[in-house]
Amino acid sequence: MIGKTLSHYEILEPLGAGGMGEVYRARDTKLDRDVAIKVLPEDFATDADRLARFEREAKLLASLNHANIAAIYGLEDEGDTRFIAMELVEGETLAERIARSGRIDVDEALDIARQIAEALEAAHDAGIIHRDVKPANVLLTGKGGVKVLDFGIAKSTTVEANAALTEQATSLTVDGTLMGTPPYMAPEQIRGEEADKRADIWAFGCVVYEMLTGKGAFARETVADTLAAIIERNPDYDTLPPDVPPSIRQLVRRCLEKDQRDRLRDIGDARIEIKQALAMPPANDIYRKTYEPTGMGAEAVGGLRQEENRRRQEQIEGYKRGGLITAAAGIGFGTFLYFTEFLSSLYLVGLVPLMIGLVLILYGFVLAPRSSTGSRS
Measured distance between the N- and C-terminal CA atoms of the chain, rounded to whole angstroms: 68
pLDDT range class, residue 19, cuts 50, 70, 90:
low
CA 163 to chain centroid: 37
As a whole number of angstroms, the distance between CA 71 and CA 89 comes to: 10
Quick check: 232 pLDDT over 90? Answer: yes
pLDDT range class, residue 107, cuts 50, 70, 90:
very high
- Beta strands 173-174 and 155-156 are unpaired
Residues 199 and 328 in one domain: no
Please, what's the largest Cα pairwise distance for the chain?
132
Residue that terminates a domain, selected from 291, 319, 340: 291
Residues 368 and 222 in one domain: no
Residues 156 and 241 in one domain: yes
State the pLDDT at residue 16: 79
Which pLDDT tens digit goes with each residue over 45-99?
A: 777 777 888 888 888 888 899 999 999 999 888 888 888 999 998 899 999 999 9
Residue, of 30 and 166, whose pLDDT is higher: 30
In sequence order, which ranges of 170-215 are alpha helices (DSSP H)? 187-190, 197-213
Residue, of 250 and 344, whose pLDDT is higher: 250
CA 346 to chain centroid: 78
As a whole number of angstroms, the distance between CA 190 and CA 182 comes to: 8
Q: Domain containing 348: what range?
A: 298-376
pLDDT range class, residue 291, cuts 50, 70, 90:
very low
Residues 178 and 155 in one domain: yes
Residues 259 and 355 in one domain: no
State the pLDDT at residue 104: 96
Residues 149 and 207 in one domain: yes
Over residues 294-311, the mean pLDDT reads: 54
Give the CATH number, domain containing residue 54: 3.30.200.20
Residues 243 and 356 in one domain: no
Over residues 182-199, the mean pLDDT reads: 93
As a whole number of angstroms, the distance between CA 37 and CA 86 comes to: 6
Cβ neighbors of 273 (< 8 A, separation 6 or more) are 247, 248, 251
As a whole number of angstroms, the distance between CA 37 and CA 88 comes to: 9
Which DSSP string corresponds to 95-143? Answer: HHHHHHH-SPPHHHHHHHHHHHHHHHHHHHHTTEE-S---GGGEEE-SS
pLDDT range class, residue 151, cuts 50, 70, 90:
confident
Residue that terminates a domain, selected from 87, 120, 155: 87
Residues 194 and 56 in one domain: no
State the pLDDT at residue 288: 38
Residue that terminates a domain, selected from 229, 258, 291: 291
Give me the number of domains the chain comprises. 3
Give the CATH number, domain containing residue 226: 1.10.510.10
Q: Tell me which residue of 194, 197, 189 sits closest to 226, measured CA to CA.
A: 189
Cβ neighbors of 91 (< 8 A, separation 6 or more) are 139, 140, 141, 142, 145, 147
One-letter identity of residue 35: V
SS3 62: helix
- Residues, the chain, total? 377
% pLDDT > 70, the chain: 75
Quick check: 225 pLDDT over 80? Answer: yes
Residue, of 306 and 262, whose pLDDT is higher: 262
Residues catalogued as catalytic: 132
Span of 110-114, 148-152, 280-284 with lowest mean pLDDT: 280-284
Residues 269 and 350 in one domain: no
Handedness of CA 329, 331, 333, 335 (dihedral sign): negative
Residues 269 and 124 in one domain: yes
pTM (2 d.p.): 0.70
Residues 229 and 361 in one domain: no
Residue, of 2 and 246, whose pLDDT is higher: 246
Write out the E strands in 149-193.
Answer: 155-156, 173-174, 177-178
Residues 254 and 278 in one domain: yes
pLDDT range class, residue 369, cuts 50, 70, 90:
low
Handedness of CA 59, 60, 66, 72 (dihedral sign): negative
As a whole number of angstroms, the distance between CA 324 and CA 15 comes to: 86
